């Protein structure tokens, strides 16, 4: 059943009863959409013209209850029996409805709309490009127009979709099991059923495209032994308001202490981000999952799995006239070591721990092109890769450095116990099928997704470990298809948002979700195009325009914040450098 009018109840329950979020709590980092209003589901209106009736049918299709019973009211009895609403769910925008033909009692209409994406059976969204075109046939039934023939599957207008569905985040684990990885889903579930539905979805596992890139402690034999209750045993309104959640699992007896903590982290991050307040009492075959948490877990107990938790505040750095500098209150100061005294550094990136650095610089042998050097911050660096040109280097959580070389190769550089860097080729066969050069590559903070610019278009691929060793970038999905294919730079704002700048004059910086569903333009009121680079930290966004490096706070309202000059970084050959 749909979350409609109960959305307001959810908002009240969350604000009044959930734990206060902290900077490292899952609840503070969740992206649950809670502003879902009551869906205005139309019904067939007597005397309405066919094209207007089709538009109402598309609006009613956002109500999935009763096998889309609201939408079936717009069909003839025969069509209502044969229409299969389970084959697909397409989300569209900018809908046009045209008459192909019309007589006194029959009509054929063409529906044309921009594709937004597709929702699979698990509630996972995947962006799509292009135009959707389909036809429906209508006849008069007792004097009123009804749809008589239509394709199988459901088509939903984007605005109506947002009225009826709300987004939740499932959390799985990166391959090392050190941080949680978000897996967004779209649901239409009553608020009092939400907690149980989320646990059920965790048991089912990650979406198909993500499953090879993450791990989970919900093995194939894990199941609930009984229904969820509040901590005092009440089984009504579980997950709504105060009272916590109690759950009892079977099939996890073989998990060790660390694995049990990871199991709890998946549950708590998922429930808390959806507004289901703790404490969370987790049992295994009737006994506490961990005796140390017999009275229940809180979000603070699993804060170590925060994808942003390993980042160190190392301050802003920059490349200025070919050297790496640290930005201080008194201006740019060269960093210790060879990079601080260099003259040929083109780009650089700091590891999230602040202790290592990777830089692209002009090769000592000019005919070679450029070289990637890696090393400890402030110390000597070693050449790890060479090529005609390279993208900005990017860091994975395991300490490896990734870089695209020459537009048609991606290399992963790791440093062995002897301190020597080793480069390995990443399998990019799926990306190569797109065609065009890779001109930007950035890894998400959890290291599970990679954002790329290929031939001016933005893609998000999955970082997939191979069973026999090595890595691949798999299943790239185009996002931001409305941005005209002129992307020049991108960066992750954590593990869920991507910032983007384009070469088109006056095109503002854009922030979008990694699945491409949401997108908004940032203010560009005092930027001077062209924009050539974007860098993001938890607090700020930096862009390079024709004058130099400009900064803007990520927490500022769009209507109240101008971009501000970064002192010491105005002029040519200035590039901001941040961790990641």
pLDDT at 314: 87
What average pLDDT does the structure give for the chain?
90
* Partners of 467 in the β-ladder: none
Residues 6+ apart with CB under 8 A from 89: 118, 119, 120, 153, 154, 156
pLDDT tens column, 108-137: 999 999 999 999 989 999 999 899 999 999
Average pLDDT for residues 493-503, to the nearest whole number? 94
* pLDDT at residue 375 in the model: 94
Is pLDDT above 60 for 501?
A: yes
Q: Hey, is 549 helix, strand or coil?
A: strand
Q: Give the mean model confidence (pLDDT) for residues 485-503.
A: 94
Rg (alpha carbons) of the chain, rounded to whole number: 26
pLDDT at 15: 33
In this predicted structure, the answer to whether residue 9 has a pLDDT above a threshold of 70 is: no
Lowest mean pLDDT among 35-44, 222-231, 420-429, 506-515: 35-44
Q: Judge whether 403 and 413 are in contact, CB under 8 Å.
A: yes
Q: What is the C-alpha to C-alpha distance for residues 175 and 481, in angstroms, rounded to an integer? A: 30
Q: What is the pLDDT of residue 37?
A: 36
On the question of pLDDT at 19 being above 80, the answer is: no
Q: How confident is the model at residue 25 (pLDDT cuts 50, 70, 90)?
A: very low
| Residue 313 confidence class, pLDDT cut points 50, 70, 90 | confident
Residue 270's SS3 state is: helix
Amino acid 35: pLDDT: 35
Q: Are 520 and 552 in contact (CB under 8 A)?
A: no
Q: Is the pLDDT at 4 greater than 50, yes or no?
A: no
pLDDT digits (tens, 9 = 90+) for 440-452: 999 999 999 999 9
Q: Would the pLDDT of 28 be above 90? A: no
Query: Residue 13 has what pLDDT?
Result: 36
**DSSP state letters, 150-162:** --SSEEEEHHHHH
Percentage of residues in the chain having pLDDT higher than 70: 92
Residue 192 is given by DSSP the state: G
Secondary structure (3-state) at 231: coil
How much is the average pLDDT of 72-77?
97
pLDDT of 398 reads 93
Tens digit of each residue's pLDDT (9 = 90 or more) over 38-68 = 347 899 999 999 999 999 999 999 999 899 9
Can you give the pLDDT at residue 483?
A: 83
CB 132 within 8 A of CB 112: yes
In this structure, are strands 323-328 and 533-536 parallel, antiparallel, or unpaired? unpaired
Bond into 279 cis (ω within 30): yes
Give tens-digit pLDDT for 410-460.
999 998 878 789 999 999 999 999 999 999 999 999 999 999 999 999 999
Residue 289 clears pLDDT 90, i.e. is over it: yes
Position 32 confidence tier, pLDDT thresholds 50, 70, 90: very low
pLDDT value for 36: 35
Q: What is the rounded average pLDDT of the residues 296-325?
A: 91
Does position 408 have pLDDT exceeding 50, yes or no? yes
Q: Cα–Cα distances in Å, from 387 out to 231, 321, 343, 358?
A: 60, 22, 19, 15
Q: How confident is the model at residue 560 (pLDDT cuts 50, 70, 90)?
A: low
pTM of the model: 0.89
Please work out, in degrees rounded to the nearest 5, the angle formed at the alpha carbon of residue 160 by the alpha carbons of 154 and 161.
60
Name the residue with tokens 């390279």.
390
Predicted pLDDT of residue 311: 67
What's the rounded mean pLDDT across residues 142-171? 95
pLDDT reported for residue 365: 77
Whole-number pLDDT of residue 183: 98
Q: Who wins on pLDDT, 356 or 13?
A: 356
pLDDT band at 153 (very low <50, low <70, confident <90, very high): very high
* pLDDT value of residue 563: 94
Side-chain half-sphere of 138: how many Cα atoms within 13 Å? Answer: 30
Predicted local confidence at residue 139, as pLDDT: 98
pLDDT of residue 27: 38
CA–CA separation, 484 and 334 (whole Å): 39
Place of tokens 């160190």: 312
């Amino acid at each position: 059943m749909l979350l409609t009018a109960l959305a307001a109840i959810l908002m009240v329950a969350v604000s009044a009863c959930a734990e206060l979020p902290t900077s490292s709590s899952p609840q503070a980092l969740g992206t649950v959409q809670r502003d879902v209003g009551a869906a205005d589901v139309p019904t067939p209106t007597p005397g309405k013209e066919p094209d207007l009736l089709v538009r109402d049918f598309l609006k009613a299709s956002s109500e999935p209850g009763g096998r889309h019973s609201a939408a079936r009211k717009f069909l003839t009895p025969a069509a209502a029996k044969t229409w299969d609403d389970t084959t697909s769910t397409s989300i569209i925008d900018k809908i046009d409805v045209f008459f192909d033909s019309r007589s006194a009692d029959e009509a054929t209409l063409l529906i044309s709309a921009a594709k937004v994406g597709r929702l699979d059976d698990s509630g996972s969204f995947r962006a799509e490009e292009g135009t959707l075109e389909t036809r429906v046939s209508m006849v008069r039934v007792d004097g009123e127009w009804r749809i008589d023939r239509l394709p199988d599957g459901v088509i939903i207008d984007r605005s109506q979709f947002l009225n009826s569905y709300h987004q939740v985040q499932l959390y799985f684990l990166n391959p090392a099991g050190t941080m949680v990885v978000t897996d967004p889903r779209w649901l239409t579930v009553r608020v009092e059923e939400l907690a149980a539905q989320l646990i059920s979805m965790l048991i089912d596992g990650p979406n198909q495209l993500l499953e090879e890139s993450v791990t989970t402690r919900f093995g194939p034999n894990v199941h609930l032994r009984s229904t969820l209750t509040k901590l005092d045993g009440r089984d009504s309104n579980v997950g709504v308001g105060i009272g916590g959640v109690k759950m009892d699992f079977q099939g996890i007896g073989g998990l060790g202490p660390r694995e049990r903590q990871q199991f709890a982290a998946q549950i708590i991050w998922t429930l808390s981000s959806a507004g289901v307040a703790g404490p969370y009492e987790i049992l295994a075959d009737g006994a506490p999952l961990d005796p140390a948490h017999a009275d229940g877990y809180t979000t603070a107990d699993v804060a170590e799995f925060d994808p942003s938790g390993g980042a160190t505040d190392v301050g802003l750095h920059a490349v200025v006239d070919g050297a790496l500098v640290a930005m201080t209150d008194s201006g740019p100061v060269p960093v210790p070591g060879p990079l601080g005294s260099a003259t040929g550094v083109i780009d650089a990136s700091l590891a999230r721990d602040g202790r290592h650095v990777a830089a692209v610089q002009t090769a000592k042998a000019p005919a070679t092109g450029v070289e990637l050097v890696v090393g400890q911050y402030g110390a000597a660096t070693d050449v790890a890769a060479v090529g005609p040109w390279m993208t900005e280097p990017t860091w994975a959580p395991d300490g490896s450095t990734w870089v695209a070389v020459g537009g048609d190769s991606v290399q992963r550089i790791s440093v062995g116990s002897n301190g020597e860097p080793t480069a390995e080729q990443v399998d990019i066969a799926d990306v190569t099928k797109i065609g065009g050069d890779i001109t930007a590559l950035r890894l998400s903070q959890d290291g599970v997704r990679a954002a790329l610019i290929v031939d001016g278009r933005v893609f998000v691929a999955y970082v997939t470990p191979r069973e026999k060793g090595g890595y691949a970038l798999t299943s790239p999905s185009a996002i931001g298809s409305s941005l005209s294919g002129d992307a020049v730079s991108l960066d992750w704002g954590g593990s869920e948002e991507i910032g983007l700048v384009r070469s088109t004059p006056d095109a503002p910086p854009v922030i979008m979700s990694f699945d491409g569903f949401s997108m908004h333009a940032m203010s560009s009121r005092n930027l001077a195009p062209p924009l050539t680079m974007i860098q993001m930290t938890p607090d700020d966004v930096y862009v390079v325009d024709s004058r130099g490096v400009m900064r803007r706070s990520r927490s500022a309202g769009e209507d109240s914040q101008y971009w501000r000059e970064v002192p010491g970084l105005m002029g040519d050959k200035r590039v901001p450098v941040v961790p990641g």
